[in-house]
Structure 1
């Protein structure tokens, strides 16, 4: 059994542009993000033939996935396992805001993120466990197929680190730009990474 997974980060939002902790806040794509989603849909439809599209239930991810679905003539299935990290009490705040209330914890987040426990939020371990459980379930559901998953930077990073066998301490070494395309394949019990953080389609 071989499954090709096209893992996409959603397009740009205003909170990406000015940098706020987004998490479960439902922020729409801005115009740049909509344009990025369109270009991503064009690229995927021309190069691959996916049989299913799954997305985080957050609006910014669903908007991106629906643009891809328009070009691929496929519906989008919301998937809770692809939802963004729950930033708890940090959601909606800028790093400067967080630093005023939790300076020590913010330092941990940026320096040793695997040890960060965000108040009322999720840890990276929790994100990894639910995301990889979702990957396994979807691969079993779509054997010998190509599927598209649209998610968020934290979730995508944890998926990529997991399939590479790298620790959570490498979290900040993985880049995920808006509408980046990552491709990996499941071959029986292991994964092969084909590419990550590909944004060439956005430069057209």
Structure 2
């Protein structure tokens, strides 16, 4: 199985300087353009058989644009939503610093912010998502998963077998593309956070 892990395009929250998380903002015009360029790239270099997406607007819109160029089944999975940031969702970053400052040393992984989930709960949710994807779609050869920066951060660590204590931190830009292939009991990483599709050249293109 080849997995294309994709972050959504630019959303309106990026321009408003607010915490996004579960706040449900749509793509900007630039975000739509980014998603269209990514869709063209995927259509030219991959043969995806299903697109699995978070239901939040910014991810679903990105996935739907990809489907226009790569006709296949579009599946919405609620557990792929971004980190549940509770009371911070939609709040300006300046206001959040005053009302809900981070504890010294950061928030412990097992403690959730008010109305939200802890990083431990978030990680477990990604473990569950991955096992359910394997169970339901493991027979397919190429799958695209469209989600969010935090979601992909945990999902990549799940795929690479890293515990929370061992976790790596993966930057994922607007429509950033990670490609991992599961073959012969091993995991092959083709690229991480490729945004070559947003420039005049194209990279990370292996149709195998």
Do the structures match in fold with TM over 0.5?
yes
The answer for the alignment partner of 1:91 in structure 2 is 89
Contact 1:124 1:158 in 2 (8 A): no
Is 1:166 aligned with 2:162? yes
Partner Cα separation in structure 2 for residue 195 and residue 101 of structure 1: 39
Partner Cα separation in structure 1 for residue 120 and residue 62 of structure 2: 26
The answer for the alignment partner of 2:181 in structure 1 is 185
Is 1:138 aligned with 2:133? yes
Matches within 5 A, 1:1-150: 3-105=1-103, 108=106, 114=109, 117-142=112-137, 143-150=139-146
Residue 136 of structure 1 deviates from its aligned partner by 2.2
The answer for the alignment partner of 1:155 in structure 2 is 151
Contact 1:40 1:68 in 2 (8 A): yes
Q: Call closer, same or farther: CA 1:14–1:53 in 2, change over 3 Å.
A: same
Partner Cα separation in structure 2 for residue 69 and residue 175 of structure 1: 25
Which consecutive unaligned segments of at least 5 residues does structure 1 have? none
TM-score by length of 1: 0.87
The answer for the alignment partner of 2:205 in structure 1 is none
Q: Call closer, same or farther: CA 1:19–1:116 in 2, change over 3 Å.
A: farther
Partner Cα separation in structure 2 for residue 157 and residue 172 of structure 1: 8
3-state SS of the aligned residue for 1:173?
coil
Residue 162 of structure 1 deviates from its aligned partner by 2.3
What is the aligned counterpart of 1:200 among 186, 190, 196?
Answer: 196
Q: Call closer, same or farther: CA 1:104–1:49 in 2, change over 3 Å.
A: closer
Q: Call closer, same or farther: CA 1:55–1:104 in 2, change over 3 Å.
A: closer
Count the aligned residue pairs: 199
Contact 2:162 2:168 in 1 (8 A): no
Residue 195 of structure 1 deviates from its aligned partner by 1.6
**CA deviation map 1:20-46 (0-9, x unaligned):** 211222100001100000011111111
Provide the alpha-carbon RMSD of the alignment.
Answer: 2.2
TM-score by length of 2: 0.86
Which consecutive unaligned segments of at least 5 residues does structure 2 have? 201-208
Partner Cα separation in structure 2 for residue 58 and residue 106 of structure 1: 32
The answer for the alignment partner of 2:171 in structure 1 is 175
Q: Call closer, same or farther: CA 1:37–1:48 in 2, change over 3 Å.
A: same
